Amino acid sequence: MMKTLCLGTAVVLGTASEANGLFMLALPESWYFAVPGVTTTGPFNQHFIRDIGLIFLFLGTAFLIGVALPRYRTVLWAASTLWLWGHALFHFWEVAVGICGPSALARDFPAVTLPAIIGALLTLWAIAQDRTAEDARPRALAITP
């Protein structure tokens, strides 16, 4: 049950990241005006939006590959989650230094902080799965002279 829930959540997170990345790449100006709060972060910059779109494609791909290939799951999900947390912490920093008001945190929560939290929970689950699998492996007997 937990495995199905975690893998399903990773598929949703990966697919949403892919969709966001594709939207950013294909229609950067439409993305800029469609996402709440983005217009308050600075002027439209097509190059920057497409750069971040590529990052979201990589994030989505990493989560989806992690679902399909358990051997690489922990490292792929951990690396992606590090970026997601960096992104979320940057949003908190903007509030802390007065660039944005505190209401930005609530507005950005679903698309910024929540994915970081989900990524962290998925990564912790993957680490636990790795440890369980490692504990289940037979160990060779050490023969000492």
- 144, part of any domain: no
pLDDT of residue 135: 75
Model-wide pTM > 0.85 = yes
Number of residues that make up the chain: 145
Residue 131 lies in a domain: yes
Q: What is the pLDDT of residue 145?
A: 66
Question: Are residues 17 and 63 in contact, defined by beta-carbon separation less than 8 angstroms?
Answer: yes
Q: Does residue 91 fall inside a structural domain?
A: yes
Residues of the chain predicted below pLDDT 50:
none
Domain assignment of residue 141, yes or no: no
Examine residue 34 and state whether it is found in any structural domain, yes or no. yes
- CA triplet 87, 90, 96: central angle to 5 degrees? 155
Task: For residue 62, count other CB atoms closer than 10 A to its CB.
Answer: 23
Identify the CA nearest to 11 among candidates 118, 131, 132.
118
- Domain assignment present for residue 80? The answer is yes
- 87: in domain: yes
Location of structure tokens 């912790």? 124
The range of the structural domain enclosing residue 125 comes to 2-136
Q: Look up residue 136 and give its two tokens.
A: 């289940």
Quick one: which of 82, 71, 62 has its CA closest to 130? 71
The tally of domains found in the chain comes to 1
Is 12 inside a domain boundary?
yes
